[in-house]
């Protein structure tokens, strides 16, 4: 806004020399920031190091408090970014003052695309630009006075850090999941089982007879990190594989708008699916927002159902269904167009019974199938899953047999069935599944009602508008020669038919997951290199630990090779592969020097954030991932935290699944292998809201600089033109970013901190309003004035006893602020401090030391610089950071009472002293129990009681 700053406008022309101004705040803040750094004020002692010789410290409970660490973007921070960092800082400071040993620091998640793209455009090494960005962000964050243990900070791009990311990769590569033990075990133990014959080698040969390649292929089926030919989104125009989220609905790259093809390429994967059940089950022990747990559950998508075989031409189509109870209602089948059986089946001509509508107008099944497959290939999974009513598909020309009743049912291909889910084939039950219903209507297929409708409709699907899909209903029309489900409820019918399928070898109960294995390689430069080399037979070998870190080599060109955008038959060529000196190496991996080729993909940018909490614990360890005693102390399980983990993790909701799921997965592997005692990384999760900002747009819809917009007569104007205003995101592209630097310069960091914390409950989004910041500035000015004489700079507090009113105000504030800070209700804590401070201002006269000191201590977590300054000025020599938080005297906290008048038939019979907050029910009870009232009623019943809490009760006797 282009108006004069109200704070400076309100400043008298002659500012008192010792007034709390932005200039004084800047001086105080810089001075204490330097002091804290020099004195290591925020350094957290570790149990086996510093704590070992200090029993008092060692006895303290710990608190490990973490933020989701930032990506060092070139744009720097706007005021929205530090919201969470300030909140964790306030919380950490309060925890320190309430007797905890607090670990709080911040690192950088610094591999990633923006730096790489910048490198491609400018030739600047990503490390150079990333480090410049980090330096800038560090300076911005330091200005906020965040109490981080700086010895523990690092970036994921540091070779000393990614050495351990690579090391963890190797542990994962060298492990398999043993479903019987329910945990990961070393691959060497699996090999021992094959060698001894305890576990059979598939195909019945002996392990010793297998070639090296055969052994490698077999182990690959078990390893938790494995290379496989996975269908991926290959974009020749960009020269890289893309994540699903990077592909548009019409099958093109979001960036560059090039065609994207589904191609099978050799890629690294992580077998996260092996952990699906544990990832689900352990959610129960976590203190996370329910919505996030729900998103993880949905992502994992556990469905209990059955696999059922439908015979066809001597083969079987296996379907996955969650409604095996509806088998008698299956009137046709659908295969995903990519299903491998489709080629096998397709007969030369349309068989008898084929309807016109099923053929798609094609002369033969082969033609119809080929045309339909081509059409389906151009659609994304998202499009295919969309609940569109117009279903498409074609008949394959074959009929399958429904195993429960022997009926011949036609087999279709249709794109609403996906290859990547279940078995890629379904039995269609149009009466009870909406998608099948729509398809059956379009293709004129029979429907049979097998679950009796409970909503009043008939049992004839021909009369329906949609499927009947309920669970609490009874089965009908479901009797065959061998099995009958009629009269059973859905749950019993499922159990009955599943048992029957299993007895007859036709199917079995099974659990299916939506979760897929994690595609773990990228064709990029700016990521962790894989510690893997291939021998001449193409067998992958792990590098020994002594060869870690495997550092990223220097390259001339950071971009992947691009191709003709329409040439689907190309293959990615990674930036690392062009560096032959690096790629082709002779190494001795224990059996003499041999030639190898390095893996030239890099890890995805999620890798570095999968374990960073552990590095904060023991950041300089180059012998071990983390010292077990240190890990146990900060993260180990304890009461209320069955799986251990970080005590508080704060970050945005956008990381609900991927990051949080991947980090949980890695934790579980490290736990299984005995490297850590915590099976979960983050015990408590908190999502902060967003700081929003007004976006102003001109008539063409283009955002205009918010700072230059004027408000006049309820409308908004930019350069004489009327502009519109909506609440949106804050950011450079919307031209509405406000930087913390500007606000610090204008008011100081303490004011910014207070403003951000006072804006509302932390988990709620809130609009930024620069003009409102001054309110918190004034609070700090009044606080200062209550303790320091603005003219002389002398401390004005007196050693006299405070009056009762003030003591009550003080202790109520202490009681409330303490609870609010513990509960992360920072906005209400600030309101209580403001109230107390206003009370002191109103009372006038010098403030008693016994009130001023606890007030300063209460302010310390929120506005640490001014608190440190006032604390010292009050004569203390130790930092305010490690003082004890004040404790309320209960004698002053009890509510004062108010007098309540009790009337019977309008006449006053009693006066009661009650708390002002008494509820109506409570007050009625107290009144009716009062002996004077009981006596006055003289045994008469009560007809009516009118209560006006807390002052009046009127009783009407019967």
Residue 320 near ligand ANZ by CB under 6 A: yes
Q: What stretch of H or E contains 281?
A: helix 276-281
Residue among 657, 662, 642 at smallest CA distance from 293: 657
Q: Which is nearer to ligand ANZ, 225 or 317 (CB)?
A: 317
Minimum CB–partner distance for residue 411 and ligand ANZ (Å):
14
What residues contact residue 175 under an 8 Å CB cut-off, 6+ apart? Answer: 184, 185, 186, 187, 223, 224, 669, 672, 673
Minimum CB–partner distance for residue 56 and ligand ANZ (Å):
56
Size, binding site for ligand ANZ by CB under 6 A = 19
Residue 391 near ligand ANZ by CB under 6 A: no
d(CA 275, CA 667): 11
Paired with 309 in beta bridges are 318
Residue 439 near ligand ANZ by CB under 6 A: no
Q: Which is nearer to ligand ANZ, 336 or 730 (CB)?
A: 336
Candidates 113, 187, 265, 418; binder of ligand ANZ (CB under 6 A) is 418
* Helix (H), strand (E) counts: the chain: 30, 31
d(CA 192, CA 188): 6
Helices (H), 484-542: 490-503
Residue among 11, 148, 156, 144 at smallest CA distance from 66: 148
Minimum CB–partner distance for residue 251 and ligand ANZ (Å):
19
Stretch that binds ligand ANZ, among 282-290, 315-323, 593-601, 778-786 (CB under 6 A): 315-323
Candidates 82, 236, 397, 424; binder of ligand ANZ (CB under 6 A) is 424
Minimum CB–partner distance for residue 252 and ligand ANZ (Å):
24
What residues contact residue 146 under an 8 Å CB cut-off, 6+ apart? Answer: 82, 85, 86, 89, 106
Residue 490 near ligand ANZ by CB under 6 A: no
Residue 430 near ligand ANZ by CB under 6 A: no
Residue 117 near ligand ANZ by CB under 6 A: no
d(CA 257, CA 235): 10
DSSP, res 413: E
Contact 280, 297 (CB under 8 A): yes
Contact 577, 583 (CB under 8 A): yes
d(CA 81, CA 69): 11
Minimum CB–partner distance for residue 293 and ligand ANZ (Å):
19
Q: Which is nearer to ligand ANZ, 512 or 570 (CB)?
A: 512
Candidates 21, 321, 602, 667; binder of ligand ANZ (CB under 6 A) is 321
Q: Which is nearer to ligand ANZ, 389 or 722 (CB)?
A: 389
Stretch that binds ligand ANZ, among 292-300, 426-434, 500-508, 675-683 (CB under 6 A): 426-434
Q: Which is nearer to ligand ANZ, 100 or 307 (CB)?
A: 307
Stretch that binds ligand ANZ, among 265-273, 317-325, 762-770, 915-923 (CB under 6 A): 317-325
Candidates 93, 185, 271, 323; binder of ligand ANZ (CB under 6 A) is 323
Residue 239 near ligand ANZ by CB under 6 A: no
Residue among 403, 262, 387, 400 at smallest CA distance from 334: 400
Residue 404 near ligand ANZ by CB under 6 A: no
Q: What stretch of H or E contains 912?
A: strand 907-914
d(CA 58, CA 143): 32
Minimum CB–partner distance for residue 303 and ligand ANZ (Å):
3
Residue 807 near ligand ANZ by CB under 6 A: no
Minimum CB–partner distance for residue 436 and ligand ANZ (Å):
7
Residue 440 near ligand ANZ by CB under 6 A: no
d(CA 309, CA 911): 82
User: Can you read off the two tokens belonging to residue 670?
Assistant: 């490290």
Residue 422 near ligand ANZ by CB under 6 A: yes
Residue 326 near ligand ANZ by CB under 6 A: yes
Residue entry with tokens 């009958």: 484
Residue 429 near ligand ANZ by CB under 6 A: yes
Residue 512 near ligand ANZ by CB under 6 A: yes
Q: Which is nearer to ligand ANZ, 429 or 797 (CB)?
A: 429
d(CA 462, CA 755): 64
Residue 445 near ligand ANZ by CB under 6 A: no
Residue 411 near ligand ANZ by CB under 6 A: no
Stretch that binds ligand ANZ, among 417-425, 525-533, 539-547, 907-915 (CB under 6 A): 417-425
Q: Which is nearer to ligand ANZ, 345 or 513 (CB)?
A: 513
Residue 421 near ligand ANZ by CB under 6 A: yes
d(CA 615, CA 152): 8
Minimum CB–partner distance for residue 270 and ligand ANZ (Å):
23
d(CA 300, CA 783): 52
Q: Which is nearer to ligand ANZ, 137 or 333 (CB)?
A: 333
User: Can you read off the two tokens belonging to residue 804?
Assistant: 């009762």
Q: Which is nearer to ligand ANZ, 149 or 433 (CB)?
A: 433
Stretch that binds ligand ANZ, among 94-102, 319-327, 723-731, 837-845 (CB under 6 A): 319-327
Q: Which is nearer to ligand ANZ, 226 or 320 (CB)?
A: 320
Residue 863 near ligand ANZ by CB under 6 A: no
Q: Which is nearer to ligand ANZ, 325 or 672 (CB)?
A: 325
Whether the CA torsion 811, 813, 816, 818 is positive or negative: it is negative
**Read out DSSP for 171-238?**
HHHTEEEETTTTEEEEHHHHHHHHHHTSSPPTTS--GGGS-HHHHHHHHHTTBSEEEEEEEEEEETTT
What residues contact residue 823 under an 8 Å CB cut-off, 6+ apart? Answer: none
Q: Which is nearer to ligand ANZ, 177 or 320 (CB)?
A: 320
Residue 417 near ligand ANZ by CB under 6 A: yes
Minimum CB–partner distance for residue 44 and ligand ANZ (Å):
46
Minimum CB–partner distance for residue 249 and ligand ANZ (Å):
18
Contact track, ligand ANZ, 258-277, x by CB under 6 A:
--------------------
448-487 positions binding ligand ANZ, by CB under 6 A = 469
Residue among 552, 603, 645, 587 at smallest CA distance from 168: 603
d(CA 74, CA 118): 10
Minimum CB–partner distance for residue 417 and ligand ANZ (Å):
4
Minimum CB–partner distance for residue 336 and ligand ANZ (Å):
6
DSSP, res 684: B
d(CA 207, CA 195): 6
Helices (H), 714-798: 740-747, 749-758, 774-785
Q: Which is nearer to ligand ANZ, 436 or 599 (CB)?
A: 436
Helices (H), 123-185: 126-142, 159-173
Candidates 153, 193, 228, 303; binder of ligand ANZ (CB under 6 A) is 303
**Read out DSSP for 577-608?**
GG-HHHHEEEEESSSSEEEEEE---B--TTGG
Residue among 251, 239, 232 at smallest CA distance from 564: 239
d(CA 319, CA 304): 13
Residue 432 near ligand ANZ by CB under 6 A: yes
Residue 427 near ligand ANZ by CB under 6 A: yes
Minimum CB–partner distance for residue 594 and ligand ANZ (Å):
44
649-708 positions binding ligand ANZ, by CB under 6 A = none
Q: Which is nearer to ligand ANZ, 182 or 420 (CB)?
A: 420
Q: What stretch of H or E contains 695?
A: strand 691-697
User: For 50, phi and psi rounded to 5 degrees?
Assistant: -60, -35
d(CA 958, CA 955): 10
Binding residues for ligand ANZ, rule: CB under 6 A, are: 303, 320-323, 326, 336, 417-418, 421-422, 424, 426-427, 429, 432-433, 469, 512
């Amino acid at each position: 806004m282009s108006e004069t700053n109200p704070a400076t406008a309100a400043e008298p022309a002659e500012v008192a020399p010792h007034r709390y101004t932005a200039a004084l705040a800047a001086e105080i803040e810089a001075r204490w920031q330097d002091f804290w750094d020099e004195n290591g004020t925020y350094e957290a002692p570790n149990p086996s190091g510093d704590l070992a010789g200090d029993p008092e410290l060692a006895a303290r409970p710990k608190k490990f408090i973490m933020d989701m660490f930032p990506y060092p973007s070139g744009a720097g921070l706007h005021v929205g970014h530090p919201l969470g960092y300030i909140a964790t800082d306030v919380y950490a400071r309060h925890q320190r003052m309430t007797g905890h040993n607090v670990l709080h620091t911040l690192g950088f998640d610094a591999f990633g695309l923006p730096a790489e793209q910048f490198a491609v455009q400018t030739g600047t090494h990503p490390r150079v630009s990333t480090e410049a960005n980090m330096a800038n962000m560090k300076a911005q964050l330091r200005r906020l006075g965040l109490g981080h243990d700086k010895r523990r900070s690092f970036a994921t791009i540091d070779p000393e850090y990614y050495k351990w990311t690579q090391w963890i990769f190797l542990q994962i590569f060298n492990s398999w999941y043993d479903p019987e033990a329910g945990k990961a075990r070393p691959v060497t133990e699996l090999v021992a089982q094959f060698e001894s014959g305890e576990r059979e080698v598939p195909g019945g040969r002996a392990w010793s007879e297998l070639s090296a390649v055969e052994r490698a292929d077999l182990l690959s089926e078990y390893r938790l990190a494995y290379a496989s030919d996975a269908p991926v989104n290959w974009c020749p125009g960009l020269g890289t594989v893309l994540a699903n989220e990077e592909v548009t609905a019409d099958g093109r790259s979001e960036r560059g708008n090039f065609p994207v093809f589904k191609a099978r390429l050799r890629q690294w994967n992580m077998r996260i699916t092996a952990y699906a059940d544990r990832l689900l089950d352990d959610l129960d022990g976590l203190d996370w927002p329910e919505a996030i747990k729900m998103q993880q559950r949905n992502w994992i998508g556990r469905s209990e159902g059955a696999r059922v075989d439908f015979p066809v031409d001597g083969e079987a189509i296996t379907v996955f269904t969650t409604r095996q109870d509806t088998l008698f209602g299956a009137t046709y089948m659908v295969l995903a167009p990519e299903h491998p059986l489709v080629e096998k089946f397709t007969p030369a001509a349309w068989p008898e019974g084929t309807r016109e509508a099923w053929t798609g107008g094609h002369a033969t099944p082969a033609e119809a199938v080929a045309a339909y497959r081509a059409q389906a290939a151009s659609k994304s999974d998202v499009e295919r899953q969309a609940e569109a009513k117009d279903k498409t598909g074609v008949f394959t020309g074959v009929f399958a047999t429904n195993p429960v009743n022997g009926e011949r049912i036609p087999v279709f291909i249709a794109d609403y069935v996906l290859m990547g889910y279940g078995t890629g084939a379904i039995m269609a039950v149009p009466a009870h599944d909406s998608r099948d219903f729509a398809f059956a209507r379009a293709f004129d297929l029979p429907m049979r009602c097998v679950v009796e409708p409970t909503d009043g409709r008939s049992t004839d699907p021909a009369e329906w508008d949609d499927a009947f899909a309920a669970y609490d209903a009874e089965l009908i029309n479901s009797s065959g020669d061998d099995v009958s489900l009629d009269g059973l409820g859905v749950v019993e019918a499922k159990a009955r038919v599943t048992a029957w399928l299993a007895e007859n070898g036709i199917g079995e109960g099974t659990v299916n997951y939506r979760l897929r294995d994690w595609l773990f390689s990228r064709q990029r430069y700016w990521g962790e290199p894989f510690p893997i080399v291939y021998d001449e037979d193409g067998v992958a070998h792990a590098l020994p630990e002594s060869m870690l870190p495997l550092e990223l080599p220097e390259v001339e060109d950071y971009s992947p090779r691009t191709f003709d955008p329409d040439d689907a038959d190309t293959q990615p060529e990674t930036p690392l592969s062009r560096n032959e000196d690096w790629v082709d190496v002779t190494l001795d991996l224990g059996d003499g020097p041999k030639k190898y080729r390095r893996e030239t993909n890099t890890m995805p940018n999620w890798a570095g954030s999968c374990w960073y909490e552990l590095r904060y614990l023991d950041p300089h360890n180059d012998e071990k991932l983390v010292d077990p005693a240190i890990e146990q102390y900060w993260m180990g399980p304890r009461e209320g935290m069955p799986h251990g983990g970080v005590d508080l993790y704060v970050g945005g909701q956008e990381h609900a699944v991927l990051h949080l799921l991947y980090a949980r997965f890695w934790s579980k592997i490290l736990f299984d292998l005995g490297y850590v005692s915590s099976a979960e990384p983050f015990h408590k999760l908190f999502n902060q809201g967003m700081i929003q900002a007004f976006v102003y747009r001109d008539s063409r819809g283009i955002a205009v600089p918010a700072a230059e917009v004027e408000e006049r007569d309820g409308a908004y104007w930019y350069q004489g033109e009327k502009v519109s205003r909506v609440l949106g995101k804050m950011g450079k592209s919307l031209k509405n970013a406000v930087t913390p630097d500007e606000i610090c310069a204008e008011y100081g960091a303490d004011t910014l901190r207070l403003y951000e914390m006072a804006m509302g409950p932390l988990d709620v989004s809130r609009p930024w309003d620069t003009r409102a910041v001054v309110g918190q500035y004034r609070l700090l000015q009044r606080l200062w004035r209550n303790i320091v004489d603005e003219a002389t700079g002398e401390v004005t507090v007196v050693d006299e006893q405070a009056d009762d009113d003030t003591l009550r105000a003080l202790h109520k504030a202490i009681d409330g602020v303490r609870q609010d800070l513990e509960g992360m209700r920072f906005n209400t804590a600030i309101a209580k401090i403001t109230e107390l401070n206003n009370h002191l201002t109103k009372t006038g006269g010098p403030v008693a030391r016994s009130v001023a000191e606890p007030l300063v201590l209460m302010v310390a977590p929120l506005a640490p610089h001014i608190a440190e300054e006032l604390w010292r000025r009050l004569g203390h020599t130790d930092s305010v950071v490690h003082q004890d938080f004040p404790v309320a005297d209960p004698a002053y906290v009890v509510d004062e009472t108010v007098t309540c008048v009790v009337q019977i038939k309008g006449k006053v019979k009693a006066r009661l002293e009650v708390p002002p907050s008494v509820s109506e029910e409570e007050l009625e009870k107290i009144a009716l129990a009062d002996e004077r009232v009981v006596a006055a009623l003289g045994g008469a019943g009560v007809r009516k009681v009118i209560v006006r809490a807390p002052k009046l009760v009127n009783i009407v006797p019967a």
